[in-house]
Each structure stands twice: as C-alpha cells, then as structure tokens.
Structure 1
C-alpha cells in the first residue's frame, strides 16, 4: 500500500488513541475542590429541600447535577466551633474550639495544610470567623470576626483593606479574580468560598429591598410552641422572636421611632447602618423608613401574637433577602467553572456552618440539638462520579468533610481525625457505610442566648439529649412519629426499652469519639478560670 494512503488510513486510529489517552489522563488527574459555605443558612431556606419560603435555583443546581443529603448534621451548632470541626476533622472536645470565645489551638493540623503540602494550590475568601492568619493557604482575604454586609473590611496576607459594595458580591468578585488571574492551571486547587450571609443582622443587597420587603411568608407550625415536656428549652433560652429579637438591631426600626414606643427590648442598629455611604443610606431609608413608620402606627394595637407575627415576617423578609444574593453569586461561580471548562474535574460542595431556626419553636438562632439547627444543608456535585439528581439518606456530619477531601486528593488522613470519608456514598457504594448514630455536644453556657450545655446522639429513628451542668434533664424524641420534636417521650413507659438502648449507644459513641464527663468538667473549669462562670 502507498505510504501516503497508509498514513491516512491510520490517522483515525491515532486520533482515537490520543483521545482515549487524554480521557485517561483527565480521569487520573486530581480533582479540584470548591467548598462553598454560608453562615446560618437553614436547609428550610433552600428550595431543593423546601420551596415554601424561597427559590434558590443556583444552589439547587448542585443537587440536580449531584447529590442532596437529607441527614447531614453538625457536631456543635455554633459558628466558630463548627468551622474548627470542618478544618480539623475532629470533635470540639479534641480540637479545643468548643465555643466562640475559646481560642483556636493553632497546633491543630487542618486539611488545607495537608492539601497544600500535597501540591494543591489553596485559597480562602470570605468569612472564617476565628484567627487572622489561617494556615495552609497560598492566598486569603477574610472578614474580621463577623464582618459587615456593606463596605466590609478584609484581612489579607499583606494588610487590611476596605472594599465598597455588598459583601456577598465582593466575596464572589475576589474569588473569581483569583480564579482568573492567580490560579495555577498546572496544579489542582482547593478554593474555600465562604459567605457572611445570611448571618444576623440580615441586611439584604439594595437590589433585593423592593421585592423581599413586600413578601409575606407562611407561619411555622410551631411558632407558638409552649415547650411542654421540654424543661431545658424553656424558660432559659434567650432566642425567642417575641422576647429577644430586637426591634432596631434586628428588624431595622430606627431608634428615633423606637424611642417613641413602649418597647422594653430594642437596640440601636449602630455601626451596621453606619457603614453605609450616603448613596447606600438614601436607598435604604427610602424602603425601610416607611416600614418603621407603619409599624409605629400599628404597634399600640398589637398583642403578643400580632407582634410575634410582625417580627417573624420582618425577620423572614431580610433573612431571605440576603439568601437571594448568595444564590445569585453561587450561580456566578458555577457559571465561571463551566465557562473555563473546570466543572468536569471539580468537586463542588454547598453547605452551612449549621442550621438555623426560622420561627420554629418561636425561635431564631441555633445551638440546640433540635432538628432545625442540628441539621445542615449539604449538596455535592462531582461529575462522572456522583449520579446526578441523587438523594442520600445516610447520616453524615461536618466532621466528615476533612477526610472526604483528603481521600478525593489521594492524601492519607492523620490518625487522629474522627470523621468518615463520604467518597463511598458519593460513588453509590452504600454497603461501605455503616454509621448508625451521630454525636453532638454544645458547650457555650453561660453565654449568649443562654442555651444549656448538652450532648446527645441521633439515629434515623430516635434522638437522645442530656442537658447538664446546672441542670440534669433528659429528652428522647421519636423522629419518625414526631418530626417537629415537640413531644419528649423520655418518661413514657412504652419508650423505656428505647431509652435504655439509646443510653447504651450514647456511651458507646462517646467512648468512640473520646468524649467524657471528665472532659466536660475540665471545660467548665476553664470557663471559671476565664471568669465566664462565677
């Protein structure tokens, strides 16, 4: 055969071989990891879970292209400790960050440090909430503490900077700027993209004022909960919408109006509004002043029920308004990954540092082991690994993220990490998952919102909680019969065997995770040493 024709005949085979080799290289290339976390984002406010309150099409897209977890929970429902658990893969009692006050032990080894050491380029943008110099990152721009919604300051490796604008948009701008200008295409990357929203005081972007301040939302079934059978939840907890949600600080009634009303619990908005420049403040006042004036007119005729409903609606308008911006910006990042052909080899996670009460039990905030703050949203997509539009019911925790990311990157986890890699579940290999209970421990008492110290375990069927320190209260919930967790059945005779079995399981799990009453008492002594307990 003529050499020319032979070459032409072989070309399709050569090209096919090259394509297969390229595919093989792509399949063995270490995946990028994009970790998206918002602050206090209730699963009830993600339409992939529940569409009664808001539509979140961009966050939902992660579930549609990947997996939605229905039983994802946290180990300690409070901001900084949750983040410490995520970074270290260890429960609070071992990593030492038990609450928002206790300093983070920087000798802890975090998964970003391990990924960086293994050749990943690493970056963090947004809200960390503790520490000003996170280890394991080639670049970071983080908010100091809680940060601000408008014209926020950022801490960077080269100094502090203030950026004009809305924080959710700015965090995304910084993230995409890094992706566009400083990402090394020769390296896999870990990107931690961390939103302040929807954390208190729930200040929406200007573009969302008109729509969300006019909306009305369905009331939660348990908005007027009387806490019967739950002594530890009432009357001590200070997170009630009626009694503890502040008219000015939270709900934006200016002090000049609040001062004219007979309101026992109100507080100035203070520097949150003070950060707005003249143009931003003018746009704010056009919308929020008429709302406050209308409230002042109606307030004298409001009983407790009417005031609770008004406060709930205002709370939801602003809280959900901040989420609208989060969803838009998640869409911006997902679209960028698509545009740059990065999506196929990138694992994307969307979660929150914990759940949040949206009026359930009459509350806002978190901290309790009850469902709305214990459960956290978790949506993961990983093309060619996760079957799209999959729902997972197995019990997973934020404790598991570190080991998951290390396995994805081919890095062996340290022996003291306590989670379990989610990779088998992501691959649909459920037979490799054998966890039947998850552990929880909350410490910050006395402290803000006055939620008693407690620990407990949850299975798919039951939840056992022990409140301790200055009380000794036990609670058991039948999760299948009582999903709202309003009936404590601990003392009911028909649940006696369940109580015994759950207590045995609790001791087994505490031993597994190396928690004990001795450790708890040690942390109480630390509170005394710091003057937090008299």
Structure 2
C-alpha cells in the first residue's frame, strides 16, 4: 500500500513538472520612461555613446519590434492597459492617479487560474491593490531611488524602508522569487523598475559615468513650433524653460534663491531623495555634484549656452540611471542562462510604460502623440519560439500584451479585449490581416506639463492628431479632480497654489504628418493643398475607431 501511494505521488509530481514545462514561463521587465532612443539595439547616435549591452542581448537572441506604441503615454494609464488589455476609456484609468475599474479582469488573474505562480516586484502605481498575484513586493507610489520603502505580504502590507538603490533592490527581490518559486508550476514574474523616471537619481557608483561625454543634440532640438497648434507651444516640458535646475539638474545650492512657492516645491522634490541618503552616501553624492555645481554657478551661463548645459546634464543623469537598469537585465538573463531548460522555456520581455523625449522638439517627459512619446521600446527573447536576430515592422501596441500572455499560457481571452496576441509576429513576418493603424488618446489636462487633451490615428506612413478641449481651470471636469479626498484633487489644489495653471484658450484643431518624408514631425500638413484625400481617409479611420470603441463625444 505504501509503495503504491509513493508511486502515485511520484507520477503526480512528474505530471506537474511536465505540465509546467509545456507552458512558457514569462518574465516581463518594464521600466518607467525609458526611451527607445537610448537603447543601443535601436541604433541611435545617443545610444552608441551610452550602450545597453544586456538589453541588446534580447534583440540579438530574440526579436526587436521597430514599431511598438502605447495607447496613452502616461505611467498609470499605461499600466492599466497592460493589466487589463483595454484602452484607457474602457478600463477607467484616463488620468495619472484614480480611475482604474478594479472589477476588470487583470491578465495575472487569468494566468493564475490556469496554474501559474504569479509575482510582481517594483513599481505598481495604481489605486487598486495587486490582483492575481501569489507574491508581490511593491514600491510606495512612485517609489524613491535611494533606500526606498516596499510592502509585501511578509510586511503585512505595511511599507518598510530597505537599504539600497531601487533598481538593485527590485532585481534582488525578483531573483529571490525565482529562487524560491514552486518549480512544479509555470511562472509569471513582472519586474517593474522605477528607473529611469524623473528626477533621474543615479546609483552612487555611476555618478561620474559619462561626465566627459558630449551627447549629440537632436536635429529638431531648436523647434520653434511654427505651423503647429498652441498645444505644442504652450506645454511645460521644454528643456530650455521647464527643466528645473534644482529638482532635475541637482543644483541644490540655488535653494537659497527660492522665491516662489514653485521654487520651494522644486527643492522639496530634490531634498525628498537626498534626505534618504546615509551620511556616508551623502559624502559620495556631494563629492561629485558640489564641484560640478560650483563650476556651473561660477560660469553664469545664459541663453543658448545655458540651454545646452541643461541638455547635456539631463542626458548624463538619465543615461547613468539607465546603466543600472541594463545591469539588472544582465543579472536576470545570466540567472536564466545558467539553467538551459529554464532559459529555453522562458519568454523575457523588455519594454517601457511609454516613450520619452530626449530633447526632440526641446522636450523632456512624454504625453504627446508625437513619435518619441507615443513609441516605446519592445524586445523579447524566447529561445523555444523566436529565432535569434528577428525583427518586426508590424504596428503593435501595449493593449497587445495581455492577449499575448493569456494566449501563451493557454488561458481564455476576454471578448472585450481589443488587442491581439503578438505570437504571429514572432517569425518576423506580418500576417495579411494584421492591423494597419493605431488609435491613441491622452486625457490628463490640466495637470503637470499642461499637455492638452488629444486623440489621433497613426498608419504606417501618416499621423492625424486632434487636439481639443477647454483651456485652463475650465477643463477641470472629472469627479477625481473636483472632489476633496482624491489624489487628483490634491494635486490640482497644489498646482493652483503655485500658479502652475495659466488661463488658456479652448481648442479644436488637427495636425497631420507624413512620417516618411518628415520623421521628425516638423511640418504640419493639415489643410495644405494636395493632402485633402489622405486627410479625409485618416479622419474616416479616426471616426471609425471612436465609433467601434464607444468613445463618447465629450471625450474628443
């Protein structure tokens, strides 16, 4: 009897192991605000000066998607689209803070239901708790770079400060999960980095990295926005005017000159990180930044020289933060490579929650439908199913992630998900019935950076953008903005206090770009002779998206 029971248990264990091996493991690595321009696999001049060899391994050993995009270029809406496979207006998360419809099924729940062990580490940044996860260890809100706080089931959902750099700690906790996981089950591990989000605080060992590097200035850095509408001109995300010397460029010595409430707010954003350093760590920080700042203040730069100083130091800090992310990717790939069977059956995905401006149009940040913000990096390695060195030119979007993972796991996709599984593209060939256009919609105004509401459609060659809505405080409409107690309301009250939101005109206009002739989007063709036919075709497509997706009239 004992032998029969032992044999049965052995057979069950063997079946479970076989079952786990059939279903692919998934490691999804997502950074915050990582631009494709700063990944060397994409070949930009900038990335050649600051290479990302570990992220590049995914392209060399798997597939690189040249045309990956988001549906709303903002942190939390992008995360909601990832988890639900739905557009912002479908899942409720249109703005940065509240809004997610927590009754929607998260793809992590779908995978958990079919036997996956599920985990998320790092930045969660949604107003609902993680759903469908056996294990989570997540940052407090945006998280801090230095000695951040995490919460997990082990801390009884209380945030506990840990010693170390956020990127390294997220990697450490991810590897802890991989080491302790149930090896009889397939797994989903989501590695969500805070980096390289503003305000780009480097790991201390990399403070001096790229200090003597001069990064190339983008061709359209000095964009004067001629031909574009007021949205392109009246935002608050230019390097020349809006990139802050204290908060962003770490010239803390200027705090003594802080005169306005916004100056003080900017200093608080920097000190909120620096106050977390230990005395020993602060010595290292000061050893680098103090001499640099003294030299800068002594130079008394103005005009173009000041703008270029800001650009170069923005780029250096950003790339330093990316270096730690690349290290992290290398650690995870090395872990898999030490176990060939695990490597073979694990798909590793690297992406960002959206793109980011590295000086194009004189911008930093994201939000706009212009290419550098709309487009996001996407690389995957899956030795079992993707040939090394594959490239895809297909139009893909972050609403495709959930359907992809659900399909690969053998789970059932919800009929309301508008996206497609990316599996047919793994060969590098594009199916005849693959989409030939994308829909985009940005809602978060008035808010930080004051980018106006807009939606639009992009095809392989053309892009039509529709900017709309009331200006200034007249645009405040949602219950999250108008009702005390919500975070959107608190942020809005803060912005009012520092006079951040000026009076602005109501808008309703379009912009049209030929991405083949004008990849830098400098020449707005809307209304120009000879473009009547393509304009009409794109408008028809845009109207069809709005109708098919049930976008209500007050949303455009």
TM-score calculated relative to the size of structure 2: 0.86
For 1:370 and 1:273, locate their aligned partners in 2 and report how far apart those are by CA, in whole Å.
Answer: 34
- Per the alignment, in what secondary structure is the counterpart of residue 270 of structure 1? helix
2:116 is the counterpart of 1:116: no
Shift in alpha-carbon separation, 1:483–1:134, aligned structure 2, 3 A: same
Runs of 4+ in structure 1 deviating by more than 4 angstroms, as ranges, are 24-28, 260-266
State the Cα distance separating 1:26 from its structure 2 match. 8.6
Query: What is the CA deviation profile of residues 379-416 of structure 1, one whole-angstrom value per residue up to 9, with x for unaligned ones?
Result: 01111311211110010000100000001011110111
Deviation digits for residues 91-150 of structure 1 (CA, Å, limit 9, x no counterpart): 000100001133322111110011011110000000111136200100101111110000
Pairwise CA distance, 1:515 = 1.8
Say if 1:233 and 1:249 are closer, same or farther in 2 by CA, change over 3 A: same
> For 1:504, what is the secondary structure of its paired residue?
helix
Match of 1:252 in 2: 250
Say whether the 8 Å CA contact 2:20–2:186 is kept in structure 1. Answer: no
**Residue 368 of structure 1: how far off its partner (Å):** 0.1
DSSP-derived class of the 2:469 partner: coil
Is the 8 Å Cα contact of residues 122 and 170 (structure 2) preserved in structure 1? Answer: yes
Q: Distance in 2 between matches of 1:156 and 1:27?
A: 26
Q: Does 1:492 align with 2:541?
A: no
Say if 1:213 and 1:318, in contact at 8 Å, map to a contact too: no
Structure showing greater radius of gyration is 1
What residue in structure 2 maps to residue 501 of structure 1? 537
User: Is 228-237 or 34-43 further displaced after alignment?
Assistant: 228-237
* Equivalent position to 1:37, from 5, 30, 36: 30
Give RMSD over aligned pairs.
2.0
Deviation at 1:261, TM superposition (A): 9.4
Report the Cα offset of residue 366 of structure 1.
0.2
**Number of matched pairs:** 495
- Equivalent positions of 1:43-82 (< 5 A) are 43-53=36-46, 54-82=50-78
Q: How does 1:113-512 map to 2 (within 5 A)?
A: 113-131=109-127, 133-157=129-153, 158=156, 159-181=158-180, 183-254=181-252, 256-257=253-254, 259=256, 266=263, 267-268=266-267, 269-299=270-300, 302-341=301-340, 342-428=342-428, 430-431=430-431, 433-470=433-470, 471-512=507-548
| CA drift at 1:259 | 3.2
More divergent stretch after superposition (360-369 vs 263-272): 263-272
Q: Distance in 2 between matches of 1:226 and 1:516?
A: 34
Query: Which string of whole-angstrom CA distances, capped at 9 and with x for unpartnered residues, describes residues 203-238 of structure 1?
Result: 111111122333221111111110011113343200
Counterpart Cα distance in 2 of 1:110 and 1:427? 28
Instruction: Give the 3-state SS of the residue equivalent to 1:421 in structure 2.
Output: coil
CA distance in structure 2 between the aligned counterparts of 1:43 and 1:179, rounded to whole angstroms: 28
Please tell me whether the aligned partners of residues 27 and 190 of structure 2 are also in contact (alpha carbons under 8 angstroms).
yes
Deviation at 1:506, TM superposition (A): 1.0
Q: What is the DSSP-based 3-state SS (H/G/I as helix, E as strand, rest coil) of the residue aligned with 1:64?
A: helix
Check conservation: 2:203, 2:321, Cα contact below 8 A: yes
Q: How much does 1:362 deviate?
A: 0.4
Partner-residue secondary structure (3-state), 2:399? helix
> Alignment partner of 1:197: what SS?
coil
- Kindly indicate whether the alpha-carbon contact (under 8 Å) linking 1:40 and 1:198 is maintained by their aligned counterparts in 2: yes
Q: Paired residue for 1:10?
A: none
User: Are the counterparts in 2 of residues 395 and 435 from structure 1 also a CA contact under 8 Å?
Assistant: yes
Distance 2:422 2:232 in 1: 37
**How many Å separate the matches in 2 of 1:428 and 1:316?**
33
8 Å Cα contact 1:257-1:296 kept in structure 2? no
Structure 2 contact 238–362 (Cα < 8 Å) conserved: yes
Farther-moved stretch of structure 1 (264-273 vs 198-207): 264-273
Moved more, 132-141 or 354-363: 132-141
Structure 1 residue 480, shift from structure 2 partner: 0.3
Query: How many Å separate the matches in 1 of 2:444 and 2:195?
Result: 22
Counterpart of 1:155 in 2: which secondary structure? strand
Question: Which blocks of at least 5 consecutive residues in structure 1 are unaligned?
Answer: 1-20, 522-534
Assess if the C-alpha contact under 8 Å between 1:239 and 1:449 holds in 2.
yes
Cross-structure match for 1:4 = none
Q: Distance in 2 between matches of 1:429 and 1:212?
A: 38
CA distance in 2, matches of 1:258, 1:247: 10
**Stretch deviating more after TM superposition (358-367 or 265-274):** 265-274
Question: Counterpart of 1:244 in 2: which secondary structure?
Answer: coil
TM-score by length of 1: 0.89
Alpha carbons 1:142, 1:155 under 8 Å: kept: yes
What is the distance in 2 between the residues matched to 1:78 and 1:216?
29
Separation of aligned partners in 1, 2:352 and 2:297? 35
- Conserved in 2, the CA contact under 8 Å of 1:125 and 1:193? yes
